[in-house]
Amino acid sequence: MSGSLRATSGLRPAGIAAFRAPLALRHTRYVSTRSSLSGESVAPLVTVTPTEVKKPAVSAHSVIPTGILLRSLLVTTVSSHPLLLGSSLSILSFLTKSRSLLLDVERNPLIHWVLRKTFYDHFCAGEREAEVHKTIEQIKSTGVKGVILTYTRETVQDSRTEQQRFANTKALEKAASTDTCEHIEAWREDVLRTVDMLGPGDFLAPKLTGAGPKVTQAFAAGQPVPTQMVEALDEVCRRVVEKKARLLMDAEQHAFLQGIHSLTLDMMRKYNRGGEAVIYNTFQAYLKAAPELIASHLKLAHEEGFTLGLKLVRGAYMSSDPRHLIHDTKENTDQAYDTIVRGILQQNYKGFGEKGRPFPATDLFLATHNVESAVAAHNLHQTRVRDNLPTCKVEFGQLMGMADGVTYGLLQLRGQNRAPPAVYKCLHWGSLSECLSFLLRRAAENRDAVSRTMTEHEALKAEVKRRIRAVFSRS
Ligand SMILES: Cc1cc2nc3c(=O)[nH]c(=O)nc-3n(C[C@H](O)[C@H](O)[C@H](O)COP(=O)(O)OP(=O)(O)OC[C@H]3O[C@@H](n4cnc5c(N)ncnc54)[C@H](O)[C@@H]3O)c2cc1C
């Protein structure tokens, strides 16, 4: 089953068949003609029509090595089976919260081995640099433009108990409360080790809450972070620039968001001066306040003359962020996401781009596994380029181990210049205990996106069958 997707402006049909049976594309989806979010009148973002489309010459998953393909099939088998996934989620959640030495994933070799060989290796790049280098090499060999690298340590605050959990790394265990905060120093060292692994054109994606309690307490209280942290972040940004890489700051839980945004804005003011964004802030479209927040950052970029780096996600903290801040339905979040994308790509958003109010220089990064949003954005961007209309740079990212059909399907599309869109894979690295909260979020995302998980599973199965048939037809 295939579908084709066409931008409303009559853009040539894009090769959506490359996405291998995208269930979500069997119907037409419109962004409502009156956005409830902005009050602005909006035309449909994309029309998805079922049409006859030739089978693609190459399946999107054909670039994946066989060992990784089989592991992906195993993980998607678990993820697409409610009982198996439910049990895995409960076990992961229990291990994340457990204080028992016996159940410590770093100390219990059996638990460590099982998690490493399954979920960890599927979603994470490695515990040490040598492993990460190998994973980067493998991912780049599949044709993506580059990698986004994250050192995974973070603070996760349970909104019900107000307790903060830290990954139990050795560096953090021995941290003492001195003038120089060892948590911040440990964060600086680990993030700089991450920068060392970047190549030109890659991205660093730091998590600021990984810098420990002094930083998270300052964020939560709306206070400035310690000078040591500002200096550490500035050094990280400098090194990223030296590497000819860029930085996508992760958006984390809502309690910390204002602090993260404000610190990142300071770095944008300093480093986004050469006409393009080196530093990006992440905006979560599931937050009802996201459109206004983006408008306020556009205003600052306009007034202060820096390029706004705008990474857009839907948001990953539904289970811990206050529910009332988040859109009531998934459809509302989808609509919010697509409305923002459309406004930025058309350079007309919340009054910016209208008479007397020029649109500030903005670079857009769409971190999404949603094939409709990604392809619609690509098509709209290409239409604007073709018609010589104002638009901005747009790039795409998916997480390692997630939505390979979207990543490699996007790479099969072609733009006006015959080049594929710029697509990146995001790799998390760090010890197993540091990656547990991240793994838990990925398992939950697979549970919530049932149809996409099934689509990915079916596509992987089809690719495995294709390879088996190829072996037999050769012999
Ligand atoms: C490269 C990359 C980087 C990322 N970085 C970040 C980051 O810095 N911060 C962050 O928070 N997330 C981040 N994410 C995760 C992201 O926020 C989403 O959780 C994830 O990508 C799934 O959303 P989607 O756009 O792929 O689409 P879909 O799978 O179509 O949408 C799922 C999302 O819709 C929203 N949703 C689901 N149900 C409801 C509901 N009932 N009501 C309202 N909304 C609902 C949630 O946001 C959910 O995650 C990143 C993802 C990628 C691929």
What distance in angstroms lies between residue 398's CA and the mean position of ligand 1's atoms?
Answer: 11
In a domain, 270, yes or no: yes
Shared-domain flag, residues 459 and 401: no
Number of structural domains (the chain) is 2
CA of 402 to the centre of ligand 1 (A): 12
Q: Is the dihedral of CA 309, 201, 404, 17 positive or negative?
A: positive
Q: Which residue has the higher pLDDT, 380 or 415?
A: 380
Segments forming the whole domain that contains residue 77: 58-126+434-474
| Ligand 1 touching residue 329 (CB < 6 A) | yes
- Does the pLDDT of residue 12 top 60, yes or no? no
- Quick one: 382 and 449 in the same domain? no
pLDDT of residue 425 exceeding 50: yes
Q: Is the beta carbon of 317 within 6 A of some atom in ligand 1?
A: yes
Buried b (16+ CB within 10 A) or exposed e, 307-337: bbbbbbbbbbbbebbeeeebbeeeebbbbbb
Give the list of residues 6+ apart from residue 173 with CB closer than 8 angstroms, or none. Answer: none
Rounded CA-CA distance 112/116 in Å is: 6
Query: Considering Cα of 431, then 432, then 437, then 439, what sign does the dihedral take?
Result: positive
Rounded Cα distance between 461 and 442, Å, is 21
Minimum mean pLDDT among 24-28, 290-294, 432-436, 442-446: which range? 24-28
* Residue 228 pLDDT class (50, 70, 90 cuts): very high
Answer yes or no: is pLDDT of 191 > 60. yes
What amino acid occupies position 208? L
The amino acid present at 453, given as its one-letter code, is T
Distance CA 270, CA 77 (A): 47
CA quadruple 304, 37, 317, 133: dihedral positive or negative? negative
Is 282 close to ligand 1, i.e. is its CB under 6 Å away?
Answer: yes
Q: How far is the CA of 128 from the centre of ligand 1 (A)?
A: 28
Q: Is the CB of 380 under 6 A from ligand 1?
A: no
Contacts of 474 (CB under 8 A, 6+ apart): none
Question: Greatest CA separation found in the chain?
Answer: 70
Tens digit of pLDDT for each residue in 53-76? 334 556 788 889 898 899 889 888
User: What percentage of the chain carries pLDDT values higher than 70?
Assistant: 83
Three-state DSSP at 151 gives: strand
Read off the DSSP letter of residue 53.
Answer: -
Q: Calculate mean pLDDT across residues 423-442.
A: 91
Q: Are 273 and 410 part of one and the same domain?
A: yes
Gap from CA of 415 to ligand 1 centroid (Å): 26
Tell how far CA 376 is from the center of its chain. 17
- How much is the mean pLDDT over the chain? 84
User: Does any ligand 1 atom lie closer than 6 A to the CB of residue 326?
Assistant: yes
Rounded to the nearest angstrom, the distance between the alpha carbon of 448 and the centre of ligand 1 is 10
Do residues 375 and 462 share a domain?
no
Helices 82-97, 66-79: inter-axial angle, 10-degree rounding: 90
- Per-residue pLDDT reduced to its tens digit, 105-123: 888 889 889 888 888 999 9
Is there a single domain that holds both residue 77 and residue 223? no
25 pLDDT above the threshold of 60: no
Asked if residue 270 and residue 236 are part of one domain, the reply reads yes
Q: Where are the alpha helices (DSSP H) in 198-274?
A: 213-221, 227-242, 254-271
User: In the 8-state DSSP scheme, what is residue 204?
Assistant: E
Distance 141 CA to ligand 1 centre (A): 27
Judged against a pLDDT cut of 60, whether residue 294 lies above it is answered with yes
Ligand 1 pocket: which of 124, 313, 340 to mutate (most atoms within 8 A of CB): 313
Between 350 and 454, the more confident residue is 350
Q: Kindly indicate the confidence band of residue 407, based on its pLDDT and cuts at 50, 70 and 90.
A: very high
Instruction: Tell me the pLDDT band of 176, cut-offs 50, 70 and 90.
Output: very low
Instruction: Give yes or no for residue 330 CB within 6 A of ligand 1.
Output: yes
103 and 86 housed in the same domain: yes
| 446 or 181, which is more confident | 181
Rounded-to-integer distance, Cα 368 and Cα 379, Å: 16
What is the CATH number for 294? 3.20.20.220
Ligand 1 centroid to residue 314 C-alpha, Å: 4
CB 412 within 8 A of CB 378: no
Nearest CA, atom 2, ligand 1 = 367
| Residues 152 and 138 both lie in one domain | yes
| Residue 227 and residue 265 share a domain | yes
Q: Does the beta carbon of 37 lie inside 6 Å of ligand 1?
A: no
Verify whether ligand 1 is closer than 6 Å to residue 369 (CB atom): yes
Query: Could you tell me if residue 32 is inside a domain?
Result: no
Does ligand 1 have an atom closer than 6 angstroms to the CB of 456? no
